């Protein structure tokens, strides 16, 4: 069971021009995914962000969809949502590790991504984490994406120069 330890949460960023987010969700566990989407939408709305939603078959397809959108569409950031519950085989480890690694690599290439793919041992853990009135991990993923967008905009156009002094 999840502990009730308190932690600090950054205040949501404010934007001077519109933000467009894409939520990419793998609705394998539909009720859990729906709760996470609700949490993400609420946080995005609180920041005035416009949200589009696409569904993909599973957690492994979430990074691929984000990569495609980052190349071919016009979004400021992305919210990756899904749930992987440990089963009887090592497939759990593959899905958790590969989806997380792919999202991290996309982020290192400049995509503003909030990773809300739950990796849990059992359904009750997922339910608590997905609940917008509980741990609200969908909302947390949206907040992470929004914070990265704010940083990206802050640093846009700044250069370090090419090593020569004026």
Catalytic positions are 91
1 with 124: CB under 8 angstroms?
yes
Contacts of 99 (CB under 8 A, 6+ apart): 59, 60, 62, 63, 80, 82, 84, 117
Say how far apart CA 63 and CA 72 lie, in whole Å.
14
* Residue (of 101, 66, 97) closest to 80 by Cα position: 66
66 DSSP 8-state letter: H
Bridge partners of 54, per DSSP, are 24
């Amino acid at each position: 069971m999840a502990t009730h330890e308190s932690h600090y949460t950054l205040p949501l960023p404010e934007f001077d021009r519109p933000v467009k987010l894409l939520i990419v969700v793998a609705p394998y566990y539909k009720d859990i995914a729906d709760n996470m989407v609700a949490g993400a939408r609420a946080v995005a709305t609180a920041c005035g962000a416009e949200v589009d939603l696409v569904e993909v078959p599973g957690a492994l397809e979430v990074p691929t969809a984000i990569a495609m959108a980052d190349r071919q569409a016009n979004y400021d950031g992305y919210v990756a949502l899904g749930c992987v519950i440990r089963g009887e085989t090592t497939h759990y480890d593959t899905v958790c590790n590969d989806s997380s690694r792919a999202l991290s690599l996309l982020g290192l290439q400049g995509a503003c991504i909030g990773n809300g793919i739950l990796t849990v041992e059992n359904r009750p853990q997922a339910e608590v984490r997905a609940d917008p009135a509980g741990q609200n991990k969908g909302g947390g993923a949206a907040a992470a994406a929004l914070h990265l967008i704010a940083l990206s905009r802050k640093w846009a156009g700044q250069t370090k120069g090419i090593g020569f002094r004026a």
